[in-house]
Structure 1
Amino acid sequence: MIMTPALRRHSCYKIMIALAMVDIMVIPINAILSGVFLLLGISYCNCPTLVYVVGCAALALWTGACALCSILALNRCTDLLCNNFHKKIFNGSKIYLWLLFVFLYMAYFFFFTNPLLFSALYSAWFFDPFVGISDQPDVGFDNMPHLVNNITAVVILVVLDSTLFLRIIRKIPIAKERVGHIRTQVTLQVALIGTLAIVAAVIYIIMQYISTPYSVIVVGQLAWQAGHGAASFVYFGMNNSIRRAIKRVFWDIIPPKNRAVVATVSRHT
């Protein structure tokens, strides 16, 4: 629904579309394949090629999502706090330069860094293929660019999301207008999605370097899954523009002779 022309002309929705594409590609990995690997007891040692390739994709998509969430938060902050600066860096074709950067960033992690490897023992992804054999993870397999990515994403999202929340709580003057209400809605959505990314990023940093309780690892894995899977529910639940677009699509599907019945039922429910 966010690909409708009316929404697509806004730079924030272009970023949301890119983020949605990443979500669609990563959910089969971090949710479905992770579940299959867990049920079958698959780890790097007994299926190295498959786990390696899937891990490369998982890492690239995760870092791409971090970059997109950070850019989206920056987009909302500049739109609310300094609209002229926002237009200079996001309007027109400039948004595509941001998206090109994200694509190259993902390609770097896919081809040039150590991949994440699934551990059936912990139901999550680690850089150490022998995790669980010793008391502490082997940092010799760590991925420093991934560490930098997660720390940077956490810092950016905490700062920008906190700024967004404070701005909303203070009830900015433009929030009384319709345009301001729409901006506030989109900003809240961005902050909620960013919060899930922060939780996943922090836990995934900790568990790569420190012996972490299984329950905390599971929370990190679920936060990673929710960060990608919850976006559609957040958009649908909090974004009036997307809800209206969905209604229009389904309204066009309903045969004309049945529309009066649907409208009557809607008024009485």
Structure 2
Amino acid sequence: MNRLVEYGSVEAIPYYNCSWRSFSDWEKTGVKKPWFGYPLILFGVLIELLYIPIIYIIFKTRLIRHPCYKIIVCLAMVDMSATCCSCLITGPLLVVGAVFCMYPRFTYIAGGFALNTWCMACAATLSLFTNRIISIGFREYAGVIEKKLAYSSIAFVLFYGFYIDYFTPTLAYNSDIMAWLPDPLSEEKPSPEAAAMYKNTIQAWNNWIFVTCMFILFSAYFMMVKRLAKGQKTKASKAVSSILKAYNRSYHGSDTKKPIF
């Protein structure tokens, strides 16, 4: 987004100039897919409507007091924004068969929004998982850590989203490929300079870090839950054993003949 502020318009940004073709020519490069676009819009509306009662219940039942639910609400808001982009924006673009150069300004801004919500969702998901691991693995310190972690996580998610949206290259939608791409496919001849302009190293690192951390956190969570379940099973076995022993003692004690004087 900083490039849009710096250059004043999308067409003025280097390697985003679509003026070498007319609108009708660019329109021919897209593919209209209403059979996919309209269901995507309806699906997005349904998902957005489902989030509303969920968030309402969290506040109504005062679950929002718990740190993990603060992160859950943050993640829900991010997911609603991501759904807006992936369904309510992408759907109409599929219906009209849009490519970047048909609506460059709108697509440029929407692409930044799409990338922003994806990276924010990654950060919020990792924060929520970390919160749950601390709650299970460090229960004696959870009360002190969880609340601070929740607020710091939400602050980080918001800051990270702003950074991604403002300081990193955007994405461009292409209806033919049905994907948001770093390359707007606006150049007559591809060049290394253009590829460098579109390259988003931060997004690549975000994806690798997210996948790696999720694998590590999933593994740690699995081991903790397994150990916790094993401990609960051992306690339950001991409790059952104690009950059976007590029952046996009382049963045999009642059968003992008392001496007759």
Q: TM-score, normalised by structure 1?
A: 0.58
* Distance (whole Å) between structure 1 residues aligned to residue 226 and residue 130 of structure 2: 18
* Distance (whole Å) between structure 1 residues aligned to residue 115 and residue 59 of structure 2: 26
For residue 31 of structure 1, report the CA deviation from its aligned partner: 1.5
Q: Which residue, out of 127, 130, 137, partners 2:182?
A: 127
CA distance 1:158–1:94, shift in 2 (3 Å): closer
Number of the residue aligned with 1:112: 167
* Distance (whole Å) between structure 2 residues aligned to residue 59 and residue 124 of structure 1: 12
CA distance 1:134–1:36, shift in 2 (3 Å): farther
What residue identity is the alignment partner of 1:126? Answer: L
Q: Which moved more, 1:106-115 or 1:93-102?
A: 93-102
What residue identity is the alignment partner of 1:18? Answer: C
* Distance (whole Å) between structure 2 residues aligned to residue 158 and residue 134 of structure 1: 40
Is 1:173 the counterpart of 2:231? The answer is yes
Q: TM-score, normalised by structure 2?
A: 0.60
Q: CA RMSD in A?
A: 2.9
Q: Which residue, out of 66, 79, 98, partners 1:42?
A: 98
Is 1:9 the counterpart of 2:77? The answer is no
Number of the residue aligned with 2:151: 96
Percent identity of equivalent pairs: 29
For residue 139 of structure 1, report the CA deviation from its aligned partner: 4.5
Number of the residue aligned with 2:120: 64
Q: Is the contact between residue 3 and residue 17 of structure 1 (CA under 8 Å) also seen in structure 2?
A: no
* Distance (whole Å) between structure 2 residues aligned to residue 134 and residue 174 of structure 1: 65
Number of the residue aligned with 1:234: none
What residue identity is the alignment partner of 1:21? Answer: M
* Distance (whole Å) between structure 2 residues aligned to residue 85 and residue 124 of structure 1: 44
For residue 174 of structure 1, report the CA deviation from its aligned partner: 5.2
* Distance (whole Å) between structure 1 residues aligned to residue 115 and residue 125 of structure 2: 15
The total of aligned residue pairs comes to 176
CA distance 1:145–1:175, shift in 2 (3 Å): farther
**Equivalences for residues 207-218 of structure 1 within 5 A:** none
For residue 120 of structure 1, report the CA deviation from its aligned partner: 0.9
1:74 alignment partner, SS class: helix
- Cα offsets for 1:125-146 (capped at 9, x unmatched): 1111129x999x9752121011
Q: Which residue, out of 203, 213, 238, partners 1:146?
A: 203
Q: Is the contact between residue 67 and residue 102 of structure 1 (CA under 8 Å) also seen in structure 2?
A: yes
User: Runs of 5+ in structure 1 lacking a partner?
Assistant: 178-269
* Distance (whole Å) between structure 1 residues aligned to residue 233 and residue 58 of structure 2: 22
User: Runs of 5+ in structure 2 lacking a partner?
Assistant: 1-56, 236-261
